[in-house]
Every structure is written in structure tokens, then in C-alpha cells.
Amino acid sequence: MVKQYMSYSPVVLVLMFAAAGCVDATTSQAAAVERSCDTWAVDDPIMIWPPDHAMHPYSLDDCVTIAPTECPPPSGYCGDGVLDPGEECDDGNGNPFDGCDMCILVDITPGFLPSGQSSATGLSITSITSNEADDRTGDGDTIGDTVVVDATTFELRAERGGNGSGRTYRVNFVDANGVTGTCTFFVPHGLAAQ
């Protein structure tokens, strides 16, 4: 099954990274995530249509299904509510946002999450690639076809080279445990091939 998303909202100018002269254009953002036990699966590729050269907003929620899963208790004495040798704190691990995480004191100042971290899902975009150059013959003479807005949201341009078979975007991400995944979005040359 192919998901199709169409959006005609105005584009907000954000940081854009373009790899001029590269066949495989890449947009990157650093990622730092906290451990998570959630499981996830990448959904089917998503078709972007029509190829109207507009930027379309997406999030990892559009292409990844997340199943919240509770973490097992830590091994040893950490999490028993008793401060043992080698532990900075031990509150029973009942609240992950109380300043004591896995028996280590952490800064819980609002806004302290490192750049690129998603506290909601534990997923963070690492890069976006395309099988076509940013500005290719017959694609509308536009640049900045991929934009990483934050850890989980991004924009993709609905265009493809006029003399190619279609454009494929790959949105690469990492979860809180370091496991990587890739979502696929594509702009076909025409609908007859679908």
C-alpha cells in the first residue's frame, strides 16, 4: 500500500543545506537521544504528488509506526529506591523526568534537551538523501529540496527530473538505542507507472 500526501500550505524559510554538484544531495542534523524501549516499524513508501515544486511538511510520525513499550527494571540494585555505593541517586525510576535517570543525576532544566533530540518518540533524523541532484534539468530550477526542521520534522520538495524515472528521498533516522532506520518518499515521473 502506498500512502499519498498532498499539501498546499505556504513554506516557512528555514535552514537549508544543499550539496551542489552532487548526484546524492544530503541534508544532515546532529542527533542525540536518550535510551528508549519503544519498538517501531517503517511504513510503506509515501508518494508525493503532484510534482508542483512545492515544499511539503512531514514528520517521522508519517512514516514510522511506534509501539510504546515499558523498559524492564535496570539490573543490579539501581531502581530499588535505596542509594547504594556507586549510585548518584536512586528514586526507584518511577519518573524519567525527575532528575535521577538510571541512578545518575541529570539536568532537567526546561529546554536542556540537546539539539536534535526528540523526547516524545526517541527518534531523531540524521540525514535526508535524494537520488537526484537538487537542481537537475527539467525539475523546475529550484534548490533546497530537503529541509530538516527539527529532530522529527522535515520538508520535501514535490519535484523530479523531467528526463528521469522519478525522485526518491530517503529520510534516515536513529532511535534512542542507536538503531537506524530509513523512510522512503518518492515523486514518480508519472502516475501511469504506479
CA–CA separation, 55 vs 159, rounded Å? 9
Helix, strand, coil abundance in the chain, percent, nearest 5: 5, 30, 65
Cα R_g (the chain), whole angstroms: 20
What average pLDDT does the segment 31-35 reach?
Answer: 41
Q: What backbone torsions phi and psi does residue 145 show, to the nearest 5 degrees?
A: -75, -15
Number of domains, the chain: 1
Burial of 9 (0-12, 13-18, 19+ CB in 10 A): exposed
User: Are the C-beta atoms of 14 and 29 separated by less than 8 Å?
Assistant: no
CA–CA separation, 187 vs 173, rounded Å? 21
Residue 93 lies in a domain: no
| Range(s) of the domain holding residue 173 | 3-66+113-193
Residue 117 lies in a domain: yes
Residue 155 lies in a domain: yes
Cell triple for residue 12? 516557512
Residue 91 lies in a domain: no
Cell triple for residue 118? 526528540
Note the pLDDT tens digit of each residue in 109-163: 544 444 444 433 578 999 999 999 887 665 666 789 999 999 999 999 999 988 8
Cell triple for residue 166? 522519478
State the pLDDT confidence band at 177, using cuts at 50, 70 and 90: confident
* Residue 137, pLDDT score: 64
Residue 81 lies in a domain: no
Residue 80 lies in a domain: no
* Residue 33, pLDDT score: 38
Residue 32 lies in a domain: yes
User: Are the C-beta atoms of 129 and 145 separated by less than 8 Å?
Assistant: no
Residue 75 lies in a domain: no
Note the pLDDT tens digit of each residue in 34-67: 456 778 999 999 999 999 999 999 999 999 998 8
